Amino acid sequence: MQIRKSRKHAAQAYSGGAMQAIFQRRPRFLSNPSPYRDAAFEYEAPPMRLVFDQTDAAMDAYSKALSDVVDLVGPSVVRIHPAGHGRQGVGSGVIVSAEGLILTNSHVARVAPVLEIVTADGRKLTARAIGDDPYTDLAVLKVDQTVTLPAARLGDSKKLKRGQLVIAIGNPLGFEATVTAGVVSALGRSLRGDTGRLIEDLIQTDAALNPGNSGGPLVSTTGEVVGINTAVIAGAQGICFAVSSNTAKFVMTEILRHGRVRRGSIAVIAQQSAIPRRFALEAGLSEQEWGAMIATIDANGPAGRAGLREGDIIIEADGRVVSGVDDLLRLLDHDSIDRQIAFKVLREGRIFEAKVTPKERREK
């Protein structure tokens, strides 16, 4: 078969780079076709300018959306490092009030008692942590100077959807005001933090994060902060996490009101434990395989006074199944303090109920 096609059209189609520019095949017999000869075709490329215009317009809109967000939120992003130590220990933060309140990570705030803040316009200020919560890896800083600063707005992270475009702004590896973009890869992730406790309600994104991005904002295309960048999976590409803005709002409110994030305690040390098959059958727990076994208990604490003892397996609390320590910790939030809660406990094949009133947990 003899094939002929216009080189000019082919070059235009290939070099245009638009996936929509696909050749249309228009068969046309050459002159004097013979049944003893192969039919030959010509390929003619469709007009390309319209395709290019549409692609360029879409790319321009995408770029403008990103740059508009950066222009809006960028001035609120700060660099953080220990005062008097140059650029050592660089992290990021985001200003959330004009009076100088800054949200960042707990592991950034804990590097020194006094921190130097460098704003996007180059101003150097000092700040101190007015409260931090290692269990969510969040902290609130307050600038020492009397200033008026550009503040970003915290959005509602519950409105996020997978696949939604997000932008990370920060100072990775000391490179100031770096912008990366990606999508929301997943919602509601959990990740075990430095304390050993699960950090809940994390946003997973493929927006590139590196050391120094910690504490910087994850921003939606509406210009709202929807997360505080916190962690990456070492050795993986495109698996990064941010604490949701709704968690950040709660932590900030608790810190501003009480100077700390309040949580309940029943004065026990527990561990996840399999429910022995024989005990499960005797107690009618055929569908529950795990619980939280009490390893150590303070006899004068809330659980001890309610009659719980070492070796008991907590299987339910406040009407919710407890299949491990994480479930128990999740239950003991600020709402549990001084509120009587019904605990169901498995002891030697028998279930009994105890009324426990958690007290506020005091950090050592």
Residues 180 and 249 in one domain: yes
Residues 299 and 315 in one domain: yes
Catalytic residue among 76, 92, 106, 214: 214
Residues 160 and 228 in one domain: yes
Catalytic residue among 107, 185, 244, 336: 107
Predicted pLDDT at 204: 94
Tens of pLDDT, residue by residue over 243-301, are: 999 999 999 999 999 999 999 999 999 999 998 888 888 877 878 889 999 999 999 99
Catalytic residue among 137, 201, 312, 327: 137
**What is the domain extent for residue 127?**
74-143
Does residue 36 surpass a pLDDT of 60?
no
State the CATH number of the domain containing residue 192.
Answer: 2.40.10.10
Neighbours of 141 (CB within 10 A): 26
Does residue 51 surpass a pLDDT of 60?
no
Residues 86 and 169 in one domain: no
Interatomic CA distance for residues 264 and 76, integer angstroms:
35
Residues 162 and 254 in one domain: yes
Active-site residue, 107 included:
yes
Residues 68 and 7 in one domain: yes
Residue 168 burial class via C-beta count within 10 angstroms: exposed 0-12, middle 13-18, buried 19 and up: buried
pLDDT band at 349 (very low <50, low <70, confident <90, very high): confident
User: Does residue 148 lie within any of the structural domains?
Assistant: no
Active-site residue, 85 included:
no
Residues 168 and 234 in one domain: yes
| Alpha carbon 254 to its chain's center | 20
**What are phi and psi for residue 324, nearest 5 degrees?**
175, 180
The pairing of beta strand 41-44 with beta strand 3-5: parallel
Tens of pLDDT, residue by residue over 102-123, are: 999 999 998 889 999 999 999 9
Of the residues 55, 72, 89, which one is the last residue of a structural domain?
72
The least confident of 53-62, 133-142, 226-235, 310-319 is: 53-62
Predicted pLDDT at 86: 64
Active-site residue, 334 included:
no
The count of domains in the chain is 4
Interatomic CA distance for residues 307 and 11, integer angstroms:
83
pLDDT band at 87 (very low <50, low <70, confident <90, very high): low
Tens of pLDDT, residue by residue over 327-343, are: 998 899 999 999 999 99
The three-state secondary structure class of 64 is: helix
Predicted pLDDT at 196: 77
Q: What is the DSSP letter of 92?
A: E
Tens of pLDDT, residue by residue over 149-201, are: 999 999 999 999 999 999 999 988 777 789 999 999 999 888 888 777 788 88
